[in-house]
Structure 1
């Protein structure tokens, strides 16, 4: 008899601390191991690490890691932060295949995310009521069922 895995999600709220991205990557590894998704760990960890580093380096407020799997074998890694500005690598009009020039100091991390993920996106969140606004950068990994 076949069983269906229910969807799941985790959110880790991170303090403004240089150790936070490493703690988040360790938590991600534990989550994936617990859900028998170890084969997605290298890609998910790279994606999470780059998104977390981007939030830590380029924003001033708190940030969060969100990991969800609405379908078996699929994973969405997302990072929320309080800054609503969308990084150039995630803007709608960016050439997905463009490689950052070799003499630039930045821009490679999010290019790596685009290259490793099946799909990427951004949601800009308006500040309403208790919401802190900001943005949510996300990347899908795992192939299989489309969102």
Structure 2
């Protein structure tokens, strides 16, 4: 049974493609210990897309944030690039594309998503997030 008390984790990651796998596995472990394994497959997909974008399109550090509050799981990735993410394409138009599907998948698979400017440890950047309701 999922916990009713809110919790939050931050995982700081280097600008390294291997950080995507580390983030995905860490997220699954967090959801398992908190009784939210039923959200793990979709949450892993969403985190993979968000962290991949943070690592692939920036040169600085990044972070994965996972938060549970009021029956909603929020997954987000912070990166050191203050530029807003490009608008997500339509998923049906991207089915053959090799790249550029990330935010379209996030929009299609989450209940809500967005971004905001966010500075961390003196680094200007942005935070791209999405939410999954437990129900």
TM (normalized to structure 2)? 0.87
Q: Quote the residue 2:16 is aligned against.
A: 17
1:89 match: secondary structure: coil
From 93, 112, 127, give the equivalent of 1:136: 127
- SS of the residue corresponding to residue 11 of structure 1 reads strand
Gaps of 5+ in 2: none
Are 1:89 and 2:82 matched, yes or no? no
Moved over 3 A (4+): 97-105
2:107 matched residue in structure 1: 114
Quote how far apart the aligned CAs of 1:126 are. 5.5
Give CA deviations for 1:49-96 in whole Å, capped at 9, x if unaligned: 000111111100010000000113x20000000001112226xxxx8x
Q: Secondary structure at the match of 1:49?
A: helix
TM-score by length of structure 1 reads 0.81
Whether the 8 Å CA contact 1:125–1:136 is kept in 2: the answer is yes
The count of residues paired between Structure 1 and Structure 2 equals: 133
**1:89 touches 1:107 (CA, 8 Å); kept in 2?**
no
Q: Which has the larger radius of gyration?
A: 1
- Give the CA deviation at 1:143: 5.1
Can you give the 5+ residue segments of structure 1 that lack an aligned partner in the other structure?
none
User: Residue 16 of structure 1: CA displacement?
Assistant: 1.9
